[in-house]
Structures are given as structure tokens and as C-alpha cells.
Amino acid sequence: MSKIHTKNGFEYHCERWWLYGTWSFTWYFRPIGRELWTQCLVTASSGTRKADVEKLLADPQQALEYYDRQLAKRADVAEAEKHLERCKQAHEHYESDAFDPGGRRNNPGRVRRDLARAADSGNAIRRAEEALEDAKRVRAILEAGNHQKKSGSVGLDVAAIMADASPSLGATATGLRTFEHLSLGTVQASPAEPAAGPSEDRRYWALISNPLTYRTLDSLRDFDEEVWTVTRGDIEVGDRVIIWQSKDKSGRRGIVALGEVLTAPTLMEEPPEFRRYWVKPEPWDKMMRRVWVRYARAPKCPRWMREDGTDPVLEGLSVTRARGGGVYRLTPEQWEAVLTEVGGWPEGTKEPRPLPSDDWQAAVEKSRARAKGQGFSSSPEVRRAVENLAMDRAETHFVAQGYTVKRLGKPYDLLCTNEGVTLYVEVKGTQMDGTEVLLTPNEVAFAREHRETMALFVLHSVSIESVDGTVQASGGTVRILQPWDPDAGELLPVGFTCILPQ
């Protein structure tokens, strides 16, 4: 989610994504304390702008009435059911022999329109089904009071932090800048193993891949986590997904894997390690709304759909009627039925957790890289490759200096000893230009206690490439501060833990 603004007791924010060669913007708002967001559509002739939203919120009573009207429309289950029935009837008509594009008149424009409606009729059913599920969900939330859910964690809005801090985060001409993380990620208790069945708060989706354009089965074989484009849908961290392959050259289609969503939708480029799986070259630098998904390989996957009409579970999924890529909703009942078909959720697959510190740092580093116009990939494989290269280069350097080197990890990376002399080394690897690195509170605290015997080894401007499906890091420039005093640079907090008053 983008930065959340507040005005007159309301929250509002904008989502944007690259669609059909242009940016698409959508504004949402809600009263503070309410759970449901609603779209702001106050202009008919052009797209809604921030000024339009703020003009609406300038009159709180008018804004609240608009909010209630919009939610009442979304929660109209009866109307959603009627719309779905109309879409099904239209689809049957278009599939029947009675369908006559354009009618008896010689009207090429009408023929084109009728054929376009016929081609989209399957997707129209899918959209109507999603609208019905949304209506049921909204109605249930309204009946429960539409109160914002209280979370057992304190999260960080990285985008908002970076936007607020941007004037003070520019590159400096002297010294090595460092960031001190006063709080990393979130703190919450989560079970070691997930429940196999549906969760009350979790949503379920189908992500579709076309094997004629992307080799999903190959990427599944090579990676445990992958980026998926989601141009629409309110997908959240912790949601579960099925990976659906559309028809291949052999006529097979079905579920090839399960998965869990690890990140909220974020505008990002296609990571380099996945580009080789595209059958046709893509514009890699295109910023698209994407999420990271961790795969869960069920025992009976791939589960191909039977095309003889004897596969009610898979035939009931809206994704089976899709004519293109996208995101499709599953009900909890459909998810349970799918789990039964594929042999259940794989044992040992852990519940998605809040971003650990290295992922949180990657999110901040990615934002800084984009602000500087630098290329950056935040995938786990890339981060591990960069970190391993930095550790290897650091160890080689200090061994050449006559030290005996031992790798530790926390609260520092290398313990170097030489004839009674001890040196503690913190190692940082980055694809950025090395003017700043990210530090945890423990790393800063330890460095402050050992200023005279502390060194900072930075390997920056690292290059990344994919060779035979393996991510490889190379190159880079070394910078060493020895001795290293973290307070000699500029320590900037980029997040805080807020302990709420009792």
C-alpha cells in the first residue's frame, strides 16, 4: 500500500500500476477506525486526482454519506447474484447456434462489438463471481460493525518513511553514511506450522500462467520463491494461492503448485533471475504491481484438469474460464476442495512471517536505489549471492593481512586474530554505490563498544547475472574503514517501534 494521508478524520491513499502502456491511478478512502476502504469516484469525465479526494473530504458529513452509499452498493448480494445470472445467460447465448453477430443488418461496427462481447463473456462471468464474493465479504464486515482489526504487531510503512525522510537521505560528499534501524520488520507470534484448512482472515487466489509465454514448470523446478504480477486484486501477505497453468501445446491445464504470499503488492521490475523463463523477451524495466510468492509443492501436483466433464472441483473455479492472465478469487470452500484434490498442504511448509531484518533492509535499499536511478533486485537468491561474495572477499582480504579468520554472523561477521591482536569485522555487500549501508541496532551497539578494534568492510556496486539458472554475483568495489566508529558517519533512524499507552 502507498503512503496513507489523513484529513478530517479520514484516511486516503493511492494505488497505481502500469497497465496497457500507461499508469493507472485509483484513490481509496475510509473513516479512521473503519476496516473497509472504498474507491473514490467523484469525477465522471476524467480520472480522480488527489485534489478531488481532498475536496470530498473537506466536508466530513458529505464524505461519510458517500462512503456509506458506496459500501451499500458493494454489499448488495442480491443484485450481485442477478448480475451473475445475467452474465451466465449472455454467455450461453453467445455459445449457442442462435448467436448471430451483428444481426441481419450490414453493420460492421455492431459485428465487432458483438464478437468482442462474446469473446469476453467467460471473463464477464468470472468478474461477476468475484463481485458476488466481494459483496458477501463486505456485507459480513458491515454486519460485524466495520471496525478496523487490531493487529498484534507493529508494522513499518517503508514507502511513507522513505517519502518523509527523502530530503535528508541524499548522498553526502564526505564519509560513509549509515542507517541505524531502531526497529526492523514486525514483532508477532506465529505458529510453526499452518493450519491446512481455510483461515477466517486469509484470502485465496488463483494466479494464472500461460506456458506459451512463460515456462512456469521450469521456474518451479529451479526456485522456491518467485515474483508474480498482480495488476488487480487486494492481495495481502499471508494469503494462499494456487498456481494455475493454462493450456499448453499438449492441451493440459490445471494446478501445478500451491503458494503463500510473502509481500504486499509493490511496483517493481522483473528480477533478472526469472527473465530467462520468458519464451518471448519482455520489457524488463517495466514497473509492474508484483508480489513475492513462496511455493508449496503439494503431493499430487501437477493436478491436470479432466476435460470430459467429470472434474467438478476444478470446473467450478473461475480461473478455468479465463481467456488471459490475471488474478482470480477462490472461496474458502473451493480452497478446501482444492487441498483435497492435490493431497493437502505440504507438511513442513511454514506460515509466512513478517519480513525478517534482511528482507526489511532489502525493501529500504531497493527504495533508495530507485530514488538514485540504480538497478536493484531484492530476491532472496540475489541477496544471498551478494552477501556470500562480500563475505568471501572480506575473508580473503584479512587472511592476506596475516589474520586467522572465523565466520560468526552476529553481532559481527568475522573474528580476526593475529598474535594476540583481535579485530571484529562487520561485512556489508550491496548493489548500490556504497555511500550508505544498513545496520541493525545490535550491530551499532557492538561497534560502539569496540570502536578501537572494529572494522567495516563494504563491497559495493556488485553486478548480478543469471548463468544456467543460477544467480551469480561478481565484481564490486571494496571500501574498508579500520578502525570503525559508527558515530563518525551519520546514523539515521528509518523506523520506530511504538509502545502504545495503557
pLDDT interval class at 404 (50, 70, 90) = very high
Q: What is the mean pLDDT of residues 409-416?
A: 86
List domains and CATH numbers for the chain: 5-74 (no CATH), 77-143 (no CATH), 204-342 (3.10.590.10), 374-493 (3.40.1350)
Residue type, 173: A
Res. 230: pLDDT tops 90: no
Q: What is the mean pLDDT of residues 268-282?
A: 78
Q: How is residue 274 annotated by DSSP?
A: G
Structure confidence at residue 132 (pLDDT)? 92
Structure confidence at residue 399 (pLDDT)? 92
Which range, of 97-106, 195-204, 244-253, 447-456, averages the lowest pLDDT?
195-204
Res. 489: pLDDT tops 60: yes
Across the chain, mean pLDDT equals 76
Res. 372: pLDDT tops 60: no
For 163-172, which contacts have Cβ atoms below 8 Å and span 24 or more sequence positions? 163/3, 165/492, 165/494, 166/371, 168/492, 169/368, 169/371, 169/436, 169/492, 171/372, 171/433, 171/435, 171/436, 172/435, 172/490
User: pLDDT tens across 459-469, in order?
Assistant: 988 887 777 76
Structure confidence at residue 379 (pLDDT)? 64
User: pLDDT tens across 118-176, in order?
Assistant: 777 888 888 889 889 999 999 999 998 888 765 433 333 333 333 333 333 333 222 23
pLDDT interval class at 274 (50, 70, 90) = confident
Res. 286: pLDDT tops 90: no
pLDDT interval class at 209 (50, 70, 90) = confident
Rg over CA atoms, the chain: 26
pTM of the model: 0.39
Structure confidence at residue 79 (pLDDT)? 92
**Angle between helices 380-400 and 357-371 in degrees, nearest 10:** 90
Res. 193: pLDDT tops 50: no
CA dihedral 221, 224, 226, 228 (to 10 degrees): 80
- Closest of 235, 236, 247, 240 to residue 209, by C-alpha: 247
Apex CA 124: angle with CA 122 and CA 127, to 5°?
115
Q: What is the mean pLDDT of residues 33-46?
A: 74
- Closest of 163, 142, 162, 258 to residue 206, by C-alpha: 258
Q: What is the mean pLDDT of residues 209-219?
A: 86
